[in-house]
A and B are shown apart, each in its own frame.
Chain A
Amino acid sequence: NAGVMQNPRHLVRRRGQEARLRCSPMKGHSHVYWYRQLPEEGLKFMVYLQKENIIDESGMPKERFSAEFPKEGPSILRIQQVVRGDSAAYFCASSPPRDSSIAGVEQYFGPGTRLTVT
């Protein structure tokens, strides 16, 4: 069973460009979380999604950032008009459905996408 997959692993964008980060959850997982890790800091929750629904986006900046988790395909975190302060590692995690015996107990993390804005 493949783990959580994220691509690209490294992404370089110039200021003002758009960044698209993809996350494919573990097979059978229907919950996806995005976290941001700034240099030398811990992980900060950004958004929690289920298929086709945003459940909690309280950690997401109000402007330029958006996330989706369509019925088919990976979850996408989109950052428009990137700025230097967006440079960070972005991690995706997934967890099983709520009716699973271990629902919500553990989150499984992907390897992250390291975004560098030049």
Chain B
Amino acid sequence: AQSVAQPEDQVNVAEGNPLTVKCTYSVSGNPYLFWYVQYPNRGLQFLLKYITGDNLVKGSYGFEAEFNKSQTSFHLKKPSALVSDSALYFCAVRVSSGGYNKLIFGAGTRLAVHP
């Protein structure tokens, strides 16, 4: 079955420290992978995507993600966390069926950045 796993419910980081939010996937074929962020009482905002090409993808707000095919992972990273990065982060994979696409989301990881 095609799926996305975010093994951590919550990640706590001190401001200024690097952060990593983990994501692993299971899909057939080449994966299209996404990260979205959700602030309280808001919709999802697109952060970045991996389609093909360089394994290190740079996105919005200083975030980046590294695609690792052998480990089937797509971890989200940022070199220096900000308090304003505190939010809920979702990893997603696009699956294709019957000629159309849909997204399968992980359960989400809550990032808390402490001053």
| Nearest Cβ on chain A to B49's Cβ, whole angstroms | 7
A103 and B102 CA atoms in complex are apart in Å by 12
With contact pairs A105-B32, A109-B36 given, residues A42 and B94 touching in the complex (Cβ less than 8 Å)? no
Contact across chains for A56 and B32 when beta carbons are under 8 A apart: no
Query: Nearest chain B CB to A46's CB is how many angstroms away?
Result: 10
**Smallest beta-carbon distance A69→chain B, Å:** 14
Structural contact, A111 and B107, CB atoms closer than 8 A: no
- Interface size of B by CB at 8 A reads 25
B contact set with A: CB distance below 8 Å: 6, 32, 34, 36, 41-46, 49, 51, 90, 94, 97-98, 100-108
- In the complex, the chain A residue whose C-beta lies closest to that of B9 is A40
With the chains together, A107 CA to B103 CA distance in Å?
A: 9
Judged by a CB distance under 8 angstroms, whether A45 is at the interface is: yes
Given A104-B94, A105-B49, A106-B49, do A111 and B42 touch, yes or no (CB 8 Å)?
yes
Min CB gap A54→B, angstroms: 12
Please give me the 5 A-B residue pairs with the lowest Cβ-Cβ distance, nearest first: A104-B101, A42-B107, A109-B44, A109-B43, A111-B43
How many Å from the CB of A57 to the closest CB on chain B? 11
CB distance from B108 to the nearest CB of A (A): 5
Q: In the complex, are the beta carbons of B51 and A105 less than 8 A apart?
A: yes
Structural contact, A56 and B105, CB atoms closer than 8 A: no
Can you list 12 A-B contacts with CB-CB less than 8 angstroms, sorted by A residue number? A31-B100, A33-B102, A42-B106, A45-B104, A48-B102, A55-B100, A56-B97, A56-B102, A93-B44, A104-B94, A106-B34, A106-B49
Residues of A within 8 A of B (CB-CB), count: 26
Q: Does A112 contact B (CB under 8 A)?
A: yes
Residue A99 at the chain B interface, CB threshold 8 Å: no
B90 close to A43 (CB less than 8 A): yes
How far apart are the CA atoms of A35 and B101 in the complex, in Å? 14
How many Å from the CB of A105 to the closest CB on chain B? 7
Distance of A110 from chain B, by nearest CB (Å): 5
CA A104 to CA B49, docked complex, whole Å: 12
Chain A residues lying within 8 Å of B42, measured Cβ to Cβ, are 111-112
